[in-house]
Amino acid sequence: MIVVHHLNNSRSQRVIWMLEELGLDYEIKQYKRDSVTNLAPNTLKLIHPLGKSPVITDGDITVAESGAIIEYLAHTYGKQLIPEIGTEAHRQYTYWMHFAEGSLMPPMVAKLVFDKVRASASPFFVKMVANKIADKVMAGYFGPNIAANLEFVNTHLSSNKWFAGEQLSGADFQMSFPLEATVARGVSKQFPAIEEFVSRIHQREAYLRALEKGGDYDYA
Average pLDDT score over the chain: 91
Residues 6+ apart with CB under 8 A from 108: 146, 178, 181, 182
The answer to whether the Cα torsion of 205, 209, 212, 217 is positive or negative is negative
**What pLDDT band is residue 130 in, cutting at 50, 70 and 90?**
low
pLDDT at 129: 56
Helices (H), 59-123: 66-77, 88-99, 105-120
Q: What residues are paired with 2 via a beta bridge?
A: 26, 58
- How far apart are alpha carbons 50 and 64 in whole angstroms? 9
Q: 3, 10, 6, 17: which is closest to 218 by C-alpha?
A: 10
pLDDT digits (tens, 9 = 90+) for 137-192: 666 667 889 999 999 999 999 999 999 999 999 999 999 999 999 999 888 789 99
